[in-house]
């Protein structure tokens, strides 16, 4: 009898424990594998509750959410230049991220949290031309992976 209670408690404990939250590092670089002014990697997939730590690879960059490219109601965030910030993402959806001074040079990345669809609101958000090109390339990779599943 005592053994059965213990087993029940253990099973309940495991079920109630969420998967361990992870922190993924993204570096802010003047030059990376995909050209100049880049976040590396430029696309990450997270579980709700996971975090991204934005690391200073080179100086003069920051990480900030892009208005209109986050889940509805998300308040947004903005790191200072050269600030290494760690951001926890709780709400499922896509999050467009920019470096404020290099947004026009295409310094952007995309984060997917949980289960989310690439909506037209995300795909067609208004961003500078070079950011548009990089986002379209990221969207194409996501679509390719999805089509192969
Ligand atoms: Cu930058």
Q: Residue 14: is its pLDDT beyond 60?
A: no
pLDDT band at 11 (very low <50, low <70, confident <90, very high): low
pLDDT at 23: 97
User: How remote is the CA of residue 103 from the centroid of ligand 1, in Å?
Assistant: 7
Please give the distance, rounded to the nearest whole angstrom, from the Cα atom of residue 30 to the centre of ligand 1. Answer: 7
For 59-113, the pLDDT digits (tens) are 999 999 999 999 999 999 999 999 999 999 999 999 999 999 999 999 999 999 9
Binned at pLDDT 50, 70 and 90, residue 1 comes out as very low
**Ligand 1 center–CA 58 separation, angstroms:** 9
Cα 107 to middle of ligand 1, angstroms? 6
Taking the centre of ligand 1 as the mean of its atom positions, its distance from the CA of residue 138, in whole angstroms, is: 18
Domain ranges of the chain: 21-148
Separation CA 65–CA 46 (nearest Å): 16
The CATH code of domain 21-148 reads 2.60.40.420
Q: Which runs of E-coded beta strand occur in the chain?
A: 23-32, 35-40, 43-46, 51-56, 64-65, 86-88, 93-98, 108-113
**Mean pLDDT over the full length of the chain:** 91
CA–CA distance, 57 with 61 (Å, rounded to integer): 9
**How many A from CA of 19 to the centre of ligand 1?**
33
pLDDT at 129 over 70: yes
Ligand 1 centroid – CA 102 distance (Å): 4
Q: pLDDT tens-digit profile of 32-44?
A: 998 999 999 999 9
Report how far ligand 1's centroid is from the alpha carbon of 101 (Å).
6
Q: Is the pLDDT of residue 119 over 90?
A: yes
Cα–Cα distance between 43 and 110 in angstroms, integer?
Answer: 5
CB atoms within 10 A of CB 140: 10
pLDDT digits over 46-57, tens only?
A: 999 999 999 999
- Check residue 75 and give its pLDDT: 96
């Amino acid at each position: 009898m005592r053994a059965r209670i213990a087993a029940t408690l253990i099973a309940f404990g495991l079920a109630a424990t969420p998967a361990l939250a992870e922190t993924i590092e993204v570096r802010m670089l003047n030059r990376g594998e995909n050209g100049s002014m880049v976040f590396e990697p430029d696309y990450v997939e997270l579980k709700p509750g996971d975090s991204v730590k934005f690391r200073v690879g080179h100086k003069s960059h920051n990480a900030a959410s892009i208005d209109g490219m986050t889940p509805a109601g998300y308040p947004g965030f903005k790191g200072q230049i050269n600030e290494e910030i760690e951001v926890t993402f709780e709400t499922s959806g896509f999050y467009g991220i920019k470096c404020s001074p290099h947004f026009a040079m295409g310094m952007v990345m995309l984060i997917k949290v949980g289960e989310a669809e690439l909506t037209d609101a995300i795909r067609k958000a208004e961003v500078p031309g070079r950011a548009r090109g990089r986002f379209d390339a990221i969207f194409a990779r996501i679509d390719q992976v999805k089509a192969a599943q």
